[in-house]
Amino acid sequence: MKQVKHISRLFLSFFLLVAFHTSRSQRKTIDQKVDSVLHLMTLEEKVGQMNQYNGDWDATGPITKDGDKQSQIRSGMVGSMLNVTGVDHTRTLQEIAMQSRMKIPLLFGQDIIHGYRTIFPVPLAEAASWDLDAIQLSARIAATEASAAGVHWTFAPMVDIARDPRWGRVMEGAGEDPYLGSLIARARVKGFQGNGLGNTDALMACAKHFAAYGAAVGGRDYNSVDMSLRQLHEIYLAPFKAAAEAGAATFMNSFNDLNGIPATGNKYLQRDILKGAWKFKGFVVSDWGSVGEMIQHGFVKDNYEAALVAANAGSDMDMESRSYIQNLAKLVKEGKVKMEVVDEAVRRILRKKFELGLFDDPFRFCNKERERQQWNNPEHLRMEREIAKKSIVLLKNNGILPIRKQSAKGSEPRNIAVIGPFAKAKSDNLGFWSYDWPDDSTRIVSVWEGMQKKIGADTRLLYARGCNINDTSHAGFTEAVAVAKNADLIIMTAGEARDMSGEAKSRSNIHLPGVQEELIKAVYATGKPMIVLVSAGRPLIFNWTADNVPAILYTWWLGTEAGDAIADVLFGDYNPSGKLPISFPRTEGQIPIYYDHFNTGRPATSDSDRFYRSAYLDLSIYPKYEFGYGLSYTTFQYSDLRLSKKKIKDTEKIDVTMKLTNTGKYEGEEVVQLYLRDKVGSVVRPVKELKDFQKIKLQPGEAKAIHFIIDKQKLSFYNDKLQWIAEPGEFDLMIGASSEDIRLKDSFELVK
């Protein structure tokens, strides 16, 4: 036996050695190939590789109609196209690229943000699942579908930390926390890129928007960002670093200026941090027109200067502003941009084209049969439903949920009224950044349809729309109230239309839109038991509903299978397990609000303690729903906290154990959250920081021991010299069901 082990160890070392050399030589081969192509290219062709145009089929930004793109592709002036999708379209353009002198294949990029054909929950909703495997799987399926349609590259994941729900793009990221955000960034990159570029089901990922786009002042999209470098590194760059470490093939820079320097022309971000300190080997694409927009920023005089600044700062590809194609060759000839800058950018781009295998076969993603197979893959819908269920957050429940599928034995048949503008909604379930496919209306499952499939023969569903999503008409109220009076139970649907959160969708008022909350009040006045479903891309404000209605499920924008997933939760086939990845404010005046704030010199410790305190006189110090919050149909008990050591050196670890028991009647999952507080630091530390979590499934009555490890990494932060260090001193350890619902506490010390 021993010998077998020895031989297998020998074999393993040999195998690893061969694998190491093979991968080195493969890398070398790609670099050599890149150089041999580069060597043959004219300056103009090189600049062409750095130029990306929007296709004319669809647009996700302001379109520039300027002539014949196809002839520019033919003459080697275009390296990549965005918004060209489908095997037929991509093949047509790739065939034209093959007529160019160098025959360099085009890259096709598209915003595959939460699914391509099968639409998954919006990224913020998925983040509420705290289920990294599920999140990775959703990206994997999106990649499988999109790559089968000829796409090579998704402009995702968006890993911007977002702490201002007025900002429309909160829907696109993982919320407010750098730790959760980093793990999700990694899961999404891995999901998109699968087993690696070179496989025909891999999509290149693009971590965006580099950087700090989510901190736009006032939550107004595209707005300026001003922040300390410490905060930048600790909070906003953390998920980007995780994405780079996970091997993201590309990065996208951002529209905003950071401390006065537009990100697109920001050398510190792109050259010093990303390509320097982080050793990123992929390429950076600008955001749509952001090279040229440096003129409006007042940072450069014209497109000529814009190209100069962006290229030198490390933006490798110009999306849609035409600054590079019009000026870069001239800038090189005039000696303002060094040839090495262009060569380096083109090398990065060509390397990815080689890695994708496009030089071997430019049409390897253009397989009609594969496209057809993936177009209607039922397994993808099944997985979508699973992930959608996990994304739902139970905000309130007085016991009315879950609903019984049949009425109680011997009792009368019952009526359930489904009321509100989302009851029969279809495309509003998909949310922003999703595509309209011709047969969507039959594919997308509405709440109404989902519920119909669940109910027994003795239950009838009644319907009234009541009002529109965002207007002032009360015309439907009377009917809604009449329907409610005939019902035994009311499911109210409310929320935001599909295009109310997303790019350029910042809003100063994030209350439930239109007259929806008035409708809820009017129907509630019938005295019938009521459950409210809120469908949205961002945290909304609905205080009256939250304070009065017995049960609320936050259902976000859940994607194609939304109605089935919601019905699964309503009828108890799935016990909700989502936890909020972002704080929900009480009013817009409380924004920005996030859990890992500093204590200040005058902390308020309760709502009765607000004078001379860091608090508003007219508002609670607490959010409406805090980060990490979410209920279950069952209950969990936290007990038996033990730390293996109370004092450690920074080379040592603490083994933290505790017991989690399902004390309720249903099987359920709990997200056990571990927070730390560094009591005294050379820079002030937050009141608590999420440092670990586990999602645990338990049967009723079942208990499990849970283990966490505390090591130096978890105790470290950026000091004022931007060094990542752990300082000796005392730490509080808190374990709980949310950032406020702390169930177990202890402390330990880091010693020299």
x-or-dash string of contact with ligand NOJ, 127-156, rule CB under 6 A: ----------------------------x-
3-state secondary structure 206-263: EEEEECCHHHCHHHCCCCCECCCHHHHHHHHCHHHHHHHHCCCCEEEECCCEECCEEH
Cα 118-182-500 angle, rounded to 5 deg: 50
Q: Which is nearer to ligand NOJ, 324 or 748 (CB)?
A: 324
Q: Which is nearer to ligand NOJ, 297 or 465 (CB)?
A: 297
Interface residue with ligand NOJ, options 49, 106, 107, 111 (CB under 6 A): 111
In the complex, minimum distance from the CB of residue 248 to ligand NOJ, in angstroms, rounded to a whole number: 14
Residue linked to tokens 């009224």: 417
Q: Which is nearer to ligand NOJ, 108 or 584 (CB)?
A: 108
Pairing of strands 636-643, 647-648: unpaired
Q: How far is CA 426 from each of CA 3, 112, 301, 535, rounded to the nearest angstrom?
A: 64, 20, 47, 12
Cα 400-403-405 angle, rounded to 5 deg: 160
User: Which residue is at the shortest CB distance from ligand NOJ?
Assistant: 60
Per DSSP, the three-state class of 525 is: coil
User: In this structure, are residues 490 and 484 in contact, taking their beta carbons and an 8 Å threshold?
Assistant: yes
Residue-wise DSSP of 114-156: SBSSSBPPPHHHHHTTT-HHHHHHHHHHHHHHHHHTT--EE--
User: In this structure, are residues 569 and 400 in contact, taking their beta carbons and an 8 Å threshold?
Assistant: no
Tell me the β-bridge partners of 709.
655
In the complex, minimum distance from the CB of residue 246 to ligand NOJ, in angstroms, rounded to a whole number: 19
Residues 6+ apart with CB under 8 A from 608: none
Q: How far is CA 528 from each of CA 126, 205, 400, 439, 474, rounded to the nearest angstrom?
A: 32, 49, 12, 37, 20
In the complex, minimum distance from the CB of residue 84 to ligand NOJ, in angstroms, rounded to a whole number: 12
In the complex, minimum distance from the CB of residue 389 to ligand NOJ, in angstroms, rounded to a whole number: 28
Residues 6+ apart with CB under 8 A from 457: none
167 belongs to the binding site for ligand NOJ (CB under 6 A): no
Residue among 37, 45, 27, 108 at smallest CA distance from 342: 45
Of residues 50 through 89, those in contact with ligand NOJ by CB under 6 A are: 60-61, 82
In the complex, minimum distance from the CB of residue 320 to ligand NOJ, in angstroms, rounded to a whole number: 8
Active site residue 287: yes
In the complex, minimum distance from the CB of residue 428 to ligand NOJ, in angstroms, rounded to a whole number: 21
Tell me the β-bridge partners of 206.
250
Q: Which is nearer to ligand NOJ, 287 or 305 (CB)?
A: 287
Q: Which is nearer to ligand NOJ, 37 or 263 (CB)?
A: 263
Element (H, E) at 534: strand 530-535
Q: Which of 131, 164, 177, 287 is catalytic?
A: 287
> From CA 106, how far away is CA 213, in angstroms rounded?
29
Residue-wise DSSP of 693-740: EEEEEE-TT-EEEEEEEE-HHHH-EE-TT--EE--SEEEEEEEESSSS
Of residues 284 through 343, those in contact with ligand NOJ by CB under 6 A are: 287-288
Q: Which is nearer to ligand NOJ, 61 or 681 (CB)?
A: 61
> From CA 145, how far away is CA 158, in angstroms rounded?
19
Interface residue with ligand NOJ, options 503, 517, 689, 692 (CB under 6 A): 503
Cα 220-57-364 angle, rounded to 5 deg: 110
In the complex, minimum distance from the CB of residue 208 to ligand NOJ, in angstroms, rounded to a whole number: 6
Q: Which is nearer to ligand NOJ, 138 or 154 (CB)?
A: 154
Q: How far is CA 40 from each of CA 30, 44, 46, 426, 608, rounded to the nearest angstrom?
A: 16, 12, 10, 53, 74
Q: Which is nearer to ligand NOJ, 208 or 385 (CB)?
A: 208
In the complex, minimum distance from the CB of residue 110 to ligand NOJ, in angstroms, rounded to a whole number: 8
Interface residue with ligand NOJ, options 186, 188, 208, 685 (CB under 6 A): 208
In the complex, minimum distance from the CB of residue 69 to ligand NOJ, in angstroms, rounded to a whole number: 16
Residue among 100, 113, 116, 92 at smallest CA distance from 51: 100
In the complex, minimum distance from the CB of residue 433 to ligand NOJ, in angstroms, rounded to a whole number: 9
Q: Which is nearer to ligand NOJ, 61 or 529 (CB)?
A: 61
Number of residues that bind ligand NOJ (CB under 6 A): 9
Q: Which is nearer to ligand NOJ, 84 or 552 (CB)?
A: 84
Cβ density class 66-86: b for 16+ within 10 Å, e for less: eeebeebbbebbbbbbbbbbb
Q: What is the DSSP letter of 584?
A: B
Residues annotated as catalytic are 287
Residues that bind ligand NOJ (CB under 6 A): 60-61, 82, 111, 155, 208, 287-288, 503
